[in-house]
């Protein structure tokens, strides 16, 4: 297996984007090569790739693939909804495509070359943002909780390198502290229904040699009540102008519990995840996903990945992919520009993408 897999979620290789198939983790580590625009659409839609920053990067490369089959900027613009409609909640997707459309309009003669170069810049920008988030959050946390005992984190879903390109958002401060010799321990919420904490975050932390414990979602309040949790640290898929934050379903409940137990609740996200056009969380669309994700579960059995039923056949299921955490429950935002309070969000540009 290629060495880059130990550090990144995707890499440009031989005129295509090579990505880790996250639907198979942690049981199998397989790569998928994205070449045509439908490859990119399918990878985003089926969650072969996921996480707002990575979705934006993949969409940028998908736009370059779309340009390869278009003879004009008008044809290119008409084809963009194919990518835009794959995941409605993550603002990075829309932001990336808007930037690519602007690039296309300014470079109509060399359409694909210009869009590919822009996609490469998206890729590098997300890496730089993640590392800056790690340093900003790590220093803030070290100043308050650093010492001889491990700093105790609680996470939700996966906002690590698998959700970006490298380092991650919510995991970035954890990696920074670990790399700088500070002891840490991470309580990893399983994050039903797709179990992205148990399958992805735990996989990442194991790769990095960081101590961690997986727990069932319903135990979050009990753990905050009975264990010395220092910080709850999550990512985001879209952040409104007032600080209301859309993130994986279940984030809101953890924020409520953290407030009750006076534990700092931090949201780590790059500037590209802030949507200043959305005034509040009520303006953020919430993706409704396939009910089968709730009524079944995939696991590893005898060398095969199998899907089994969890509920009686014919039972209806409700599966919102995200919820909205009100800004008053958020202690601060960890960004590549430093630590921001909700009232400071308007100081950000609409996007940190190139």
pLDDT digits (tens, 9 = 90+) for 114-173: 999 999 999 999 999 999 999 999 999 999 999 999 999 999 999 999 999 999 999 999
pLDDT digits (tens, 9 = 90+) for 194-205: 999 999 999 999
**Identical fold between 3-125 and 147-347:** no
Mean pLDDT of the region 8-16: 91
Share of the chain above pLDDT 70, in %: 98
Comparing 265 with 112, which gets the higher pLDDT?
265
- Domain 3-125: which CATH number of 3.40.50.1110, 1.20.120.420, 3.40.50.300, 3.30.2350.10: 1.20.120.420
List Cβ neighbours of 179 (8 Å cut-off, separation of 6 or more): none
- Note the pLDDT of residue 256: 99
Q: Quick check: 91 pLDDT over 70?
A: yes
- Catalytically annotated residue among 217, 237, 244, 275: 237
Tell me whether residue 237 is one of the annotated catalytic residues: yes
* DSSP states of 35-83: -SHHHHHHHHHTTSS-SHHHHHHHHHHHHHHHHTT-SSHHHHHHHTHHH
Please name the helix (run of DSSP H) or strand (run of DSSP E) that holds residue 275, with its range, or none: strand 274-275
Confidence of residue 310 (pLDDT cuts 50, 70, 90): very high
Measuring CA to CA, how many Å separate 161 from each of 77, 107, 128, 164?
A: 30, 32, 12, 5
Say which residue the tokens 């010492």 belong to.
Answer: 147
Q: By C-alpha distance, which of 212, 208, 190, 211 is closest to 199? A: 190
Q: Quick check: 353 pLDDT over 70?
A: no
Distance CA 196, CA 192 (A): 7
pLDDT digits (tens, 9 = 90+) for 219-275: 999 999 998 999 999 999 999 999 999 999 999 999 999 999 999 999 999 998 999
Distance CA 13, CA 34 (A): 10
Q: Quick check: 305 pLDDT over 90?
A: no
- Note the pLDDT of residue 2: 67
- Note the pLDDT of residue 84: 94
- CB contact at 8 A, 305 and 28: yes
Mean pLDDT of the region 25-29: 92
Would you list the domain boundaries of the chain? Answer: 3-125, 147-347
Distance CA 120, CA 110 (A): 16
Homologous superfamily in CATH for domain 147-347: Translation initiation factor eif-2b; domain 2 (3.40.50.10470)
Q: By C-alpha distance, which of 163, 186, 184 is closest to 269? A: 163
């Amino acid at each position: 297996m290629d060495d880059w897999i130990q550090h990144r979620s995707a890499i440009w290789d031989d005129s295509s984007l090579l990505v880790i198939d996250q639907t198979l983790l942690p049981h199998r580590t397989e790569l998928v090569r994205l070449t045509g625009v439908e490859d990119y659409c399918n990878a985003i839609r089926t969650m072969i790739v996921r996480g707002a920053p990575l979705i934006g990067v993949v969409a940028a490369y998908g736009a370059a693939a779309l340009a390869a089959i278009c003879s004009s900027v008008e044809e290119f613009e008409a084809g963009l909804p194919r990518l835009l409609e794959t995941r409605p909640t993550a603002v990075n997707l829309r932001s990336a495509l808007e930037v690519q459309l602007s690039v296309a309009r300014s470079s109509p003669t060399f359409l694909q070359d210009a869009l590919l170069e822009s996609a490469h810049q998206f890729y590098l920008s997300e890496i730089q943002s993640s590392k800056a988030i790690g340093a900003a959050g790590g220093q803030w946390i070290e100043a308050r909780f650093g010492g001889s005992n491990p700093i105790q984190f609680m996470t939700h879903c996966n906002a690590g390198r698998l959700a970006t390109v490298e380092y991650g958002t919510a995991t970035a401060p954890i990696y920074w502290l670990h790399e700088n010799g500070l002891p840490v321990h991470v309580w990893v919420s399983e994050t039903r229904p797709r179990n992205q904490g148990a399958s992805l975050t735990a996989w990442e932390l194991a790769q990095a040699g960081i101590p961690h414990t997986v727990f069932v979602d319903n135990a979050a309040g009990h753990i905050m009540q009975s264990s010395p949790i220092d910080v709850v640290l999550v990512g985001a898929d879209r952040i409104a102008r007032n600080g209301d934050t859309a993130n994986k379903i279940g984030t809101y409940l953890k924020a409520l519990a953290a407030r009750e137990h006076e534990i700092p609740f931090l949201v780590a996200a790059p500037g590209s995840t802030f949507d200043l056009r959305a005034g509040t969380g009520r303006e953020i669309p919430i993706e409704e996903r396939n009910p089968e994700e709730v009524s079944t579960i995939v696991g590893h059995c005898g060398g095969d990945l199998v899907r089994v039923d969890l509920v009686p056949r014919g039972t209806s299921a409700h599966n919102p992919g995200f919820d909205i955490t009100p800004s008053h429950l958020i202690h601060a935002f960890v960004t590549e520009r430093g630590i921001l309070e909700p009232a400071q969000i308007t100081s950000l540009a609409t996007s940190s993408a190139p």
